[in-house]
Each structure stands twice: as C-alpha cells, then as structure tokens.
A and B are shown apart, each in its own frame.
Chain A
Amino acid sequence: MHTVNYQTDAEQTLTSPARRDFLRHYRHPLGRARHCDHPPRLRQARPHSQRNRRLRPRAMNAWLKVGSDNTITFLCDRSEMGQGVYTSLTMLVAEELGVAPHRIQVEFAPANEVYTNQLLGTQITGGSTSVRDAWDKLRKAGAQARTMLTQAAAKQWGINPQGCRVEDGVIVSPHGKRLTFGAVAASAAGLPVPDKVALKDAGAYKVIGTPVKRLDTPLKVDGSAQYGIDVRLPDMLYAALTQSPTLGGKVKSFDDTAAKTMPGYKATVQTSSGIAIVADSWYRARKARDAVKIEWDNGPNASLNDAAIPERACSLPLAARRKWLARMATRMPL
C-alpha cells in the first residue's frame, strides 16, 4: 500500500482501469490484495495452423488434451503467481491420470464458466483456494481421462476395461498388452465423458504428498516464461497513464499539444482520474505522456497524507473506520 505521494512511474503506467477493476473484484472476496501484478502465461499454445492435423490433441474434458504423439496437455485454470499452481494443479490431474507430472505440458486455460473457482464464484486465483477448489475437480478430470483412454484401449483389444491398469502413460491389459495414451487418444475422445469415476484412496497416492520439482522453473531461468507484460498481439497499441496525485482527484485541464507531435502518438484518453496516452510502443507512449501538461483538481483529499490517514482512521468508531479504510483501499493507487 502506498502513500499518495509515493506512486512510481511503473505503478502509474501499469494501473490500467481494467487492472484496477480486476483488483477491486479480487480484493472483495479475499479482504486483501494479493501479489498479482504480472500473472504469467507460461507456455503459449501454438496456433492451430502450425499443428499437424493428425497430431491434433484430443480433448478428454475441459482440462486435459492427449495428442497421438503422446503429449499430454493440462489446461491450468488458475494464474501462476509464484504460489505454485502450475505444479500443484498438474499434480492433481497427474495422480489420477497415471503419469508423472513432468510428462504433462501445462497451458493456461481460456476464460470459461467451466473454470469457475467454486469457492470464490468466478474464474479467479487467490485466497489460497486453488488447490482446495481443484482437489476433487481436477482429480476427477484426471480419472475421467484415464477411464476413457482405458475404455478405448480395452475396446481395441476386445476385452473388459475392468482388468486394465495404467502405468505412466501406458494402458496395460491383464495379459500384458500395452497401448500408449497417444495410440488411443482419438478413439477415447469420441467416448462419452463418464460422470462418475472412482478416485484413488489417499493411501494409493503416488504423486500427491511427494516432493515434486516445480514445473515452471525451467521457463523462469531462461527468460521464456510469458507474463502479462510479454504478450504481443497483432497491431497492439500501448498506453501510459498519469493519474491524479491525490485520491479522488481529477483532471482540471490538460494540454497534449506537444504529445501529439511525438513519434508513435495515437490518441489521448481521459480517464476518471487521469490521462492516458496511446502510442505504438510503450516507451513512446510514456515519453508522450510525460509531455502532457496536466492541471489537477486535487479533490477532497488534497491535504491527505501518511500522517493523516491513521489519525483519521483512529478518530472514527470501529465500524465506520473499517468502511472508510475499505473505501480508501479501493481508491488507493496500486
């Protein structure tokens, strides 16, 4: 939490309206903001055009895809922020699917209702809820995929799937015949997704409860992990924002004449609490932003400072204090 005077360049420029809204939602169920400045998207899916059609991964359910080349992809529906969901959630599906976690590739899931965090009511990461929410859901997803793959293999062998077992990505028949996940992926994907699947007893866990090395570390030691700031879209524009130096302050007037002449300038956008300059690169946007002259209406908190906040808070009765601080918190530059 920063004081009104202590707002860095980075904070100003990264505090987009969307992010603020996100954080507001984010705070609400949790009661406090969490570290989520740069949620990473670690591995980028290759565009479909680049994929070999025959190798197209087959979706077993919303979380798991199996390719005929034996690649297993887990769609991780929570943000990796260092807390380790990239690994821990993968462990949950790996346990029931019957493969080692490091054999699973992780991609981040798109936005979809199926990925709702039931403990928080929307597709969101926070409040130490990821594993608790995923505990049954992802083990079930793993078990569903394993069941379908086993059924497909048993069908191919013309036997009852009951006696088949799975050993690290391979389905093994009671007589020792073997088929890889990839070999039956296409036929398994055509089977109905079983609603009821039996989950392992805790005593039978091979992955859960064991130390597993983080799956995201390799991407974080060579710079290849993709964070929000690294996303590049075609014809993407960049905005740099200057916000009111006071809480609740507004732009009284501004002059962006100089900014408009600067290289890469695209547009000036006035927000509820500041001015954003849009340009064709972030650095150009920032330079142009710095060239905007803004006169501020400092609003009701013009004289608010570090010392005044606890003073004011302490002068209020408890309930009013909580309310006031909560209101302050949502308007605090982040």
Chain B
Amino acid sequence: MELRVEGLDLLHQPIHQLLRATDGQRRNVVDRLLGIQLGALTAGMRERVDQMRTDAQQTELENLEQAAGAGSDDDDLRFDCRLGWGERGGGCGLAQGDDYALEKGGDYSTACGRAVPRLIRGVLSMIRLNVNGKDVQVDVEDDTLLLWVLRDTLGLTGTKFGCGMALCGACTVHIDGNPTRACVTPVTAAADHKITTIEGLSSNRSHPLQKAWLELDVPQCGYCQSGQIMSAAALLASKPKPTDQDIDDAMSGNICRCGTYQRIRAAIHRAADMDLDKGSANS
C-alpha cells in the first residue's frame, strides 16, 4: 500500500490551488494525510515535502505505512495513517505518531498509527479519554472522529465543525498540548492522551489569551474563535513571546470568515505581554 502520489503532489500547490482542487482530489489529500496542519501547507511547505521525500527515512515511512495497512483494508488506512509536518514536533498535528516523532527527534515527523486495538469493525468499544483533566469512557465506534465524540457524546460544543477536512481550524483542540484538528482525528488516536478543548482552557476565562480576546473584542461571529484561541494557546506555550512571523506561521491554518486576523494577532501579542507581566511580577 502506498500513499497516492496525486495526494502528495497536490501539497506542492499553493493553497488557492488546493482549495480549487476537485472534491475528490481534496478528499484524497485529506483522507490520506490525516492530521495535517494547514500552517504547514503554506510557508515552507514545498521545502518540507521535498526534504521528506528525498530523505532516506522515506523508506521507513513507506514501511510503516505498509505495517499499518497490513491486515486492514484500504479504508482503514484513512484513519490509521497519519502524517505531519512542522517546525516543532508539537506543531505537526500528530497524536498517534508522536512517540515515533520523538524517537526521530527531527524537525519533521512522519509516523503511522500504532496498531489501534480494533475489534470487529463497527463494533462499539469503550474508549478511555482524558478530556480537560477528567477521565471519561465513551462508547462509540472506534473510527468515530474525535470532534463528534467531544461535541455529541460529551456535549462539549465549544469545539466547532467547519470543513471536516482539516482545512479551516475551527475544530482545533490540544492533544498532549499539540494543536490538533479534531475533525480528522479518530477518537482511538486520542485515547490515553490528554485532550484539552476550549472549555478546558480555563474555568473562568482567565487564560491570558481569553483576557486579551476580551480586552480587544476579537470575535465577530465567533464561530472560528475557539479554534483560533486553541491554536494561539499552543503557540504561546511553546513560544512565550512570538513575533508577527511566528504568529502568522502558527495561525495560518485557522481561517476566519469575518476577517478578525489583525485583532487575533494583536491579542496574541497582548496575551504574551500579560504572561510576561505576570512572570516579572512573580519574580
């Protein structure tokens, strides 16, 4: 089994061309390359893809894919094989593959899911999750996507459904602190990892980003803002004092139809300043 070349080739295209791709092509890209972060599709994308392709470890990737595909049919690969690119191991949107990514320790990560304990296909199995610090068990088909478990099973509707294809960022949650698109992450990939949603960012809107968002009245319609804030929170966790460029890189996968980007950027800077203020006040 191999990744369809068509899918990878599309990633070389500028984003507007990807968005103009046919539905089938886009599905292919998204279904084949689960967990991708849109930030990675813009700046430096070509470079990273090329790097990955020429890298000797590409062989390993293929081996891993074969391993993941072994014993399962083509459809299963949709949910098991996850790829990611990113500056930080954390930013690459891996949930299942992060052990592998850590082993590699490189600035890109490639991994395929560890063998998910699949029972008979379609059969319900209890899946253990840690959401916002609480252990919960959910009784869903094991290929259910995390977003729907959060929204429908657990009632955490703050995480939004936008495109369902990891293209818009409205569904961004943290898995072990990494911003991840819940709309393409199978719930099994999140099992036994720490999941944080907007509801868990703080109990009283006290996160510096929430305070900055309030101060600058960032949202308009607000539909994308949970995802925006979660992406920004992951950024600040890894870069407490981000530059404009850092913000643009980290946030480019979160689309806002109202166009609140300027205020989002200003609010991230504001939150970073608050964090520093607090830091200096404490020291």
Give the interface of A toward B (CB within 8 A). 5-10, 13, 35, 37-38, 40, 80-84, 213-214, 216-227, 229-230, 232, 262-263, 281-284
B158 contacts the other chain (CB 8 A): yes
Majority DSSP secondary structure for residues of B touching A = loop
Q: Are A221 and B221 neighbours in the complex by a CB distance under 8 Å?
A: no
Q: Which residues of B contact A220 (CB under 8 A)?
A: 213, 219, 222, 225
Number of A-B contacts (CB under 8 A): 108
Q: Are B229 and A221 neighbours in the complex by a CB distance under 8 Å?
A: yes
Q: Which residues of A contact B151 (CB under 8 A)?
A: 230
Q: Are A82 and B148 neighbours in the complex by a CB distance under 8 Å?
A: no
Give the interface of B toward A (CB within 8 A). 19-20, 22-23, 26-27, 122, 124, 141, 144-145, 148, 151-152, 155-165, 197-199, 201-202, 205, 209-210, 213-214, 217-223, 225-226, 229, 257-258
Q: Are A40 and B221 neighbours in the complex by a CB distance under 8 Å?
A: yes
Q: Are B221 and A283 neighbours in the complex by a CB distance under 8 Å?
A: no
Q: Are A82 and B157 neighbours in the complex by a CB distance under 8 Å?
A: no
Q: Are A213 and B220 neighbours in the complex by a CB distance under 8 Å?
A: no
Task: Give Cα A106 to B161, complex, Å.
Answer: 25
Q: Which residues of A contact B197 (CB under 8 A)?
A: 223
Q: Are B199 and A83 neighbours in the complex by a CB distance under 8 Å?
A: no
Q: Are A10 and B163 neighbours in the complex by a CB distance under 8 Å?
A: yes
Write the chain B residue with the least CB distance to A11.
Answer: B163
Q: Are B160 and A35 neighbours in the complex by a CB distance under 8 Å?
A: no
Q: Are A218 and B221 neighbours in the complex by a CB distance under 8 Å?
A: no
Q: Are A9 and B222 neighbours in the complex by a CB distance under 8 Å?
A: no
Return B123 CB to nearest CB of chain A, in Å: 9
Task: Give Cα A9 to B199, complex, Å.
Answer: 26
Top 9 A-B pairs, shortest CB-CB distance: A223-B158, A82-B221, A82-B220, A220-B222, A223-B198, A283-B148, A220-B219, A230-B157, A221-B213
- Supplied contacts A220-B222, A223-B158, A283-B145, 13 more A-B pairs, CB within 8 Å: A10-B161, A13-B164, A35-B221, A82-B219, A220-B219, A221-B213, A221-B229, A222-B205, A223-B198, A227-B223, A281-B148, A282-B152, A284-B141
Task: Give Cα A13 to B160, complex, Å.
Answer: 15
Write the chain B residue with the least CB distance to A7.
Answer: B23
Q: Are A217 and B158 neighbours in the complex by a CB distance under 8 Å?
A: no
Q: Which residues of A contact B152 (CB under 8 A)?
A: 281-283
